[in-house]
């Protein structure tokens, strides 16, 4: 078997899920950034008004046991986080939180189209990241332009 030269070897290391610029934008838009573990997920039982859209998000709530607060102010040990449980084309890529999920959560107050959500929510693929991304997130937050 002939060895493959280093310049022809594939790099199988995991590449960042998004560019630093994309992630920095999501961090800037986030109201709160926390790390932690989901301890529960339940359907949001709020009364709906008017007609449902075919693209209804089917909001659920997750309880996140907070480990660290990276942005914003949180005094509680847990956070209620909303997420769209729908698999509709408008929502299939949005994060779905399940009990035991551990990660970094970028909590937003608007959905991807700018509409208000029932509470702080994860609505974009970059709003739920593996805990291994925490050092990268801290670096981006530290280097973010001051308001």
**Which of 7-16, 114-123, 138-147 has the least mean pLDDT?**
7-16
- Tell me the mean pLDDT in the region 56-85: 95
Average pLDDT over residues 80-86: 95
> For the segment 104-141, what is each residue's pLDDT rounded down to a tens digit?
999 999 998 899 999 999 999 999 999 999 999 999 99
- Spell out the residues 6+ positions from residue 89 whose beta carbon is closer than 8 angstroms to its own: 55
pLDDT tens-digit readout, 22-34: 999 999 999 999 9
Query: For a pLDDT cut of 70, what percent of the chain falls above it?
Result: 82
pLDDT at residue 16 in the model:
47
Could you give the dihedral angle defined by the CA atoms of residues 86, 37, 132 and 119, in that order, rounded to the nearest 10 degrees? 50
Position 74 scores a pLDDT of 95
pLDDT value at position 50? 54
Q: Please, which pLDDT band fits residue 5 given cuts at 50, 70 and 90?
A: very low
- In the chain the domains, ranked by start, together with CATH numbers, are 18-44+58-142 (2.40.50.120)
Q: Which H or E run contains 34? A: strand 32-43
């Amino acid at each position: 078997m002939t060895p493959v030269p280093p310049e022809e070897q594939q790099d199988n290391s995991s590449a960042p899920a998004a560019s630093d610029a994309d992630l920095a934008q999501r961090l800037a838009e986030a109201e709160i950034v926390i790390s932690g573990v989901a301890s529960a997920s339940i359907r949001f039982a709020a009364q709906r008004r008017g007609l449902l859209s075919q693209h209804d998000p089917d909001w659920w709530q997750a309880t996140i046991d907070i480990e660290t607060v990276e942005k914003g102010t949180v005094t509680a040990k847990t956070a209620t986080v909303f997420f769209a449980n729908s698999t509709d084309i408008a929502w299939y890529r949005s994060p779905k939180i399940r009990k035991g999920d551990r990660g970094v959560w970028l909590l937003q107050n608007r959905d991807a189209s700018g509409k208000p959500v029932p509470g702080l929510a994860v609505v974009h693929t970059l709003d739920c990241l593996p805990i291994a991304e925490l050092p990268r997130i801290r670096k981006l937050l530290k280097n973010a332009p001051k308001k």
